Amino acid sequence: MCCFSRPVLSVSATNIFAREAPDGRQYLAYGMTLSVADDVAMILPLPVPPGSLDDAVTFIDLSGYAELFDDLAKGFPVAVAAGPQSRAAKAARPPLAVVEVGSFEASFVPAIGDFDRLDPRFRLPAEVWSQLPGYERFGFAVFKLKRGNKRIHPMAFSFPRAARGSLFFPTVHIHDGHVHAAAQFDHALFCQRSPRALGELPPAWRFSSKAAHFMDVGKARGIVDGDRVVHRLQLLGRAPNRDVYLED
């Protein structure tokens, strides 16, 4: 899910990369082109184990590899379509940590009930969560973005997975404070499957040569494995508004 705490003017060219990380975790990198009139937060719900601690997510600075998704795309030279707590509770609990990650500030919100520990400007309205059943057990990575028109350098982190054996892509849209059944997609999903992955992916998922042939793996700070192929799925046009899970 890609949620914004305030309405945005436009979002396009969204790219997401996912790969298994050590100890049952998952790497996730997210990039896009964004236009906003005011400072805004992007909120990415994550399927983390219930009771995850405040430091469960490890943020990774990819400001030195702004072209990460440009390089991932080089492996595919032919384009193919395819509720806040009460004030008393808020005062009793410490605010969430804020981490500097390249040009962003980021926080991890362990559960919906912890959003009261975050700056009010960077929360979703409480009624939005009532429209999204199934996210009660999720945690949330929150990135604070400055106003203006810009291409966002990749936001990246690793997180513990509630269900090992699947890769998660946050693709549900909330761009105007409302949840819609269908949405307009302009997404490229990239992944590297684990060596244990069984079965072939559907034909819409294309695959490349080994990542080291077209990536600067060192600049990716461990997120990309140079010895594995990369898979890509393009989501273009109007489609059901939901997240994507891939068996790994």
pLDDT > 60? residue 86: no
167 strand-pairing partners: 246
> pLDDT of 172-193, one tens digit each?
887 776 778 898 899 999 999 9
pLDDT > 90? residue 168: yes
Helix (H) or strand (E) holding 68: helix 68-73
pTM reported for the whole predicted model? 0.87
Domain ranges of the chain: 2-247
pLDDT for the residue 158:
98
| Range 153-170 burial, b when 16+ CB lie within 10 A, else e | bbbbbbbbbbeeeebbbb
> By mean pLDDT, which of 13-22, 121-130, 159-168, 200-209 is the weakest?
121-130
**Mean pLDDT of the 138-155 span:** 86
Task: Locate 87 and state its tokens.
Answer: 């004030």
pLDDT for the residue 89:
41
pLDDT for the residue 85:
40
Model confidence band, residue 159 (pLDDT cutoffs 50, 70, 90): very high
Task: Locate 12 and state its tokens.
Answer: 């396009």
Length of the chain: 248
CB 124 within 8 A of CB 40: no
**Mean pLDDT of the 233-248 span:** 92
Do the strands 182-192 and 10-20 form a parallel or antiparallel pair, or are they unpaired? parallel
pLDDT for the residue 99:
87
> pLDDT of 89-124, one tens digit each?
444 578 888 888 888 889 999 998 898 888 777 777
Output the CA torsion 49→50→52→56 (10° steps): 30
Judge: domain 2-247, CATH 2.60.250.
yes
Residue 205 to residue 160: CA distance in whole angstroms: 25
More confident: 81 or 245? 245
**Mean pLDDT of the 205-216 span:** 96
Q: Which residue has the tokens 């298994």?
A: 20
Task: Locate 154 and state its tokens.
Answer: 């990749």
pLDDT for the residue 78:
66
